[in-house]
Structure 1
Amino acid sequence: MRRVEARHLRYALALAEHQHFGRAAASLGIAQPPLSTQIAALEREVGERLFDRTPRGVFPTAAGAAFLAGARRALDEMAGAVVDAGRAARGETGRLRLGFIGSALLAPLPAVLGRFRRTHPDVRLAVQEMESPAGTAALLAGELDVAVGRATPRGVGAESLVTVPFWTNHLVAVVSTAHPHAGRSTIGVDQLAREDLVITPPDKEPAVSAMLRALFAPERCPLDGATVARDVHTIVGLAACGVGVGLGPDSMRRVARNDVWFCDVTPRVRLPDLLLSFRAADRSPVLAAFLDTVRRTCPDVESRLDRLLAAHPDTAARRAAG
């Protein structure tokens, strides 16, 4: 016997438990002679007598007792390794690196990440807020597993990504409760053109900035003198202070305050979708588990995501390779 195998450890432990070759063989489902032969071969491999054969039974020697203690530990570790391998294959352990724009924390990331944390508590989440272009660059560089933003990924390597619409928003305005529009359900674009506005930095969400600029006549664009706020929370806070009318996604309504009022913008303006992107060739079980959570949490994403995966050449090549 060139090496000690797991079955030899089980044979030795069964013999120690039953203290009889016949009973041990029966418990293992093998005949007695092969068990005797294997134990003798094991002793030759170890170089020590592991069992005393006596008329009263078969008992471990001092060397045998030490060997059996190690055998138990080895089998326990092997069983644990099998469990760990299965958990890793199912995406229950590992790491997920996620980059996101701040407004995604209003919706839908709280529901998605909350569910993922509950169902995959042993996955290490590394999350980082970053602008959409930076998220794409980090994803292409292999520094992220998932990126959530509003800009469609572009540039060298963008064709290797799968990008699916993740969440839809329309434009709303937020005003102080002292503002003349407080209490109204809507505010028109023409009315917004006469207001001081509060917006996010154009370079932070360029797709939103371009869409807002297209709303207003170029000769009198209120965005040129708008107050720039770091995020939607700051927009709401400045609106509450009476600095101006804040503009942002309808998910901004989740910033609950009793000193502001939200109005839908008319005509209804759909903002660029929140987009979820990942590398099509990424075979990580953790990523697969996260995408399953997205499917369950955002049902509208499921069919679009499956169609995109089926059509992408990287995933098609992976399926063909088996």
Structure 2
Amino acid sequence: MEARHLRYAVALAEHQHFGRAAAAIGIAQPPLSKQIAALEQEVGARLFDRTSHGVFPTAAGEAFLVRAHRALAEMSAAAIDSGRAARGETGRLRIGFVASALLEPLPVVLVRFGRERPDVRLSLHEMATSRSTAALVSGELDVAIGLGAPRGAGAEGLVQVTLGHDHLVAAVARSHPYAGQQTIGLDQLRQQHLIISSGEDEPGVIGMLRTLFGADSRALEGATVARDVHTIAGLAACGVGVGLGPSRMRLITRTDLWVCAVAPRTLLPELTLAFRAADDSPVLAAFLDAIRSHCADIDDALGRRLGSR
């Protein structure tokens, strides 16, 4: 039994005449009569009564037609669903990200992606870069947004592009003596209680700070350690001390916080996006399009990396 047999039976029940049904489905009447007879033989029951007034479903035919309608509807839905999945309109996308990515670019990208792909299920996980890289390699994530180039076993199988560059800035409460300054120097920082990242969310920052402060790292040893940039900013706004973090902290909109540059200018690990080179998921492709639309400067780099796959 094939789908065409179901369509023939439905058409015959609708038109109640072999000739009209054949014309409606675009075949000649004799083949239609032969196909209906073959269907009845396969089912093992007479599905239609042939009378001088027309062709009408029998009790067996009525039961068959109920199922036939359902089967044809499911087949149509299957074709629609598969087409949507192939276009990346349905499915699931698992994203691992560092907290600072919630400042830029994730908010705009996720809003756009959610608006354009409302039926894609997003699974979002805040995690350190080392963890998200391992999860990406193992197949637990589809996309990882972290800091610095992915490292570790399997990293060679990942595509990585830079989403943004960062340098070190300082954040203080509006009531702090340094509020209003455009730049804070190292000598000033050494005199303050510092708030720094634990190093899990911002890998490499601790090492860079130790290099920046040189042999005199006592200010770091007594620092308050925070999990992420949002906590650093919050503690700084409360007057706990001077928060040190990436320049994306300037995007934190708090009226009680002042952010200024640190001299000398110190570059921090780049914000990077990574995904498996072998992943040809339409949903991933749609997400990368959303990233490209917001981060136009990565379009060429991403195109070159994808082109090499």
Q: TM-score, normalised by structure 2?
A: 0.94
Aligned partner of 2:64 in structure 1 is: 67
Q: How far apart in 2 are the matches of 1:203 and 1:13?
A: 63
Q: Give the number of equivalent residue pairs.
A: 309
Tell me whether 189-198 or 17-26 shows the greater mean CA deviation.
Answer: 189-198
3-state SS in 1 of match to 2:89: coil
Q: How far apart in 1 are the matches of 2:217 and 2:52?
A: 107
Within a 5 Å distance, the mapping from 1:203-214 to structure 2 comes to 203-214=200-211
Aligned partner of 2:21 in structure 1 is: 24
1:283 equivalent to 2:284? Answer: no
Aligned partner of 2:294 in structure 1 is: 297
Within a 5 Å distance, the mapping from 1:241-260 to structure 2 comes to 241-260=238-257
3-state SS in 1 of match to 2:75: helix
3-state SS in 1 of match to 2:269: coil
Alignment-mate amino acid for residue 237 of structure 1: G
> In structure 2, which of residues 89, 92, 115 is the aligned counterpart of residue 92 of structure 1?
89
Alignment-mate amino acid for residue 18 of structure 2: F
**Is 2:129–2:200's contact at 8 Å kept on the other side of the alignment?**
no
1:102 equivalent to 2:99? Answer: yes
3-state SS in 1 of match to 2:139: coil
Q: How far apart in 1 are the matches of 2:51 and 2:102?
A: 73
3-state SS in 2 of match to 1:166: strand
1:118 equivalent to 2:118? Answer: no
Tell me whether 186-195 or 52-61 shows the greater mean CA deviation.
Answer: 186-195
Tell me whether 172-181 or 263-272 shows the greater mean CA deviation.
Answer: 263-272
| 1:214-249 Cα deviation digits (max 9, x unpaired) | 222324563233221222222122222322211112
Aligned partner of 2:156 in structure 1 is: 159
Q: How far apart in 1 are the matches of 2:122 and 2:200?
A: 27
Q: How far apart in 1 are the matches of 2:17 and 2:253?
A: 74
**Is 2:210–2:217's contact at 8 Å kept on the other side of the alignment?**
no
Alignment-mate amino acid for residue 163 of structure 2: F
| 1:84-143 Cα deviation digits (max 9, x unpaired) | 111111122211111111111111111111211111111111111111111111111111
More strand by share: 2
Q: How far apart in 1 are the matches of 2:275 and 2:148?
A: 14
Aligned partner of 1:319 in structure 2 is: none
> In structure 1, which of residues 25, 43, 50 is the aligned counterpart of residue 47 of structure 2?
50
3-state SS in 2 of match to 1:138: helix
Q: How far apart in 2 are the matches of 1:302 and 1:211?
A: 30
1:232 equivalent to 2:229? Answer: yes
**Is 1:213–1:221's contact at 8 Å kept on the other side of the alignment?**
no
Aligned partner of 2:134 in structure 1 is: 137
Q: How far apart in 2 are the matches of 1:167 and 1:106?
A: 12
Aligned partner of 1:179 in structure 2 is: 176
Q: TM-score, normalised by structure 1?
A: 0.90
Aligned partner of 1:307 in structure 2 is: 304
Give the gaps of 5 or more residues in structure 1: 316-322
3-state SS in 2 of match to 1:265: strand
1:79 equivalent to 2:54? Answer: no
Q: How far apart in 2 are the matches of 1:102 and 1:113?
A: 14
**Is 1:133–1:151's contact at 8 Å kept on the other side of the alignment?**
no
- Change in CA separation of 1:7 and 1:220 when aligned onto 2, cut-off 3 Å: closer
RMSD value, Cα:
1.7
**Is 1:115–1:293's contact at 8 Å kept on the other side of the alignment?**
yes
1:217 equivalent to 2:214? Answer: yes
Q: How far apart in 2 are the matches of 1:267 and 1:21?
A: 88
> In structure 2, which of residues 117, 134, 146 is the aligned counterpart of residue 149 of structure 1?
146
Q: CA deviation at 1:200?
A: 0.7
Q: CA deviation at 1:33?
A: 0.9
Q: How far apart in 1 are the matches of 2:180 and 2:152?
A: 45
Alignment-mate amino acid for residue 154 of structure 1: R
Q: How far apart in 1 are the matches of 2:110 and 2:29?
A: 57
Aligned partner of 1:202 in structure 2 is: 199
Q: CA deviation at 1:170?
A: 2.7
**Is 1:151–1:205's contact at 8 Å kept on the other side of the alignment?**
no
> In structure 2, which of residues 263, 268, 276 is the aligned counterpart of residue 266 of structure 1?
263
Q: How far apart in 1 are the matches of 2:231 and 2:11?
A: 69
Give the gaps of 5 or more residues in structure 2: none
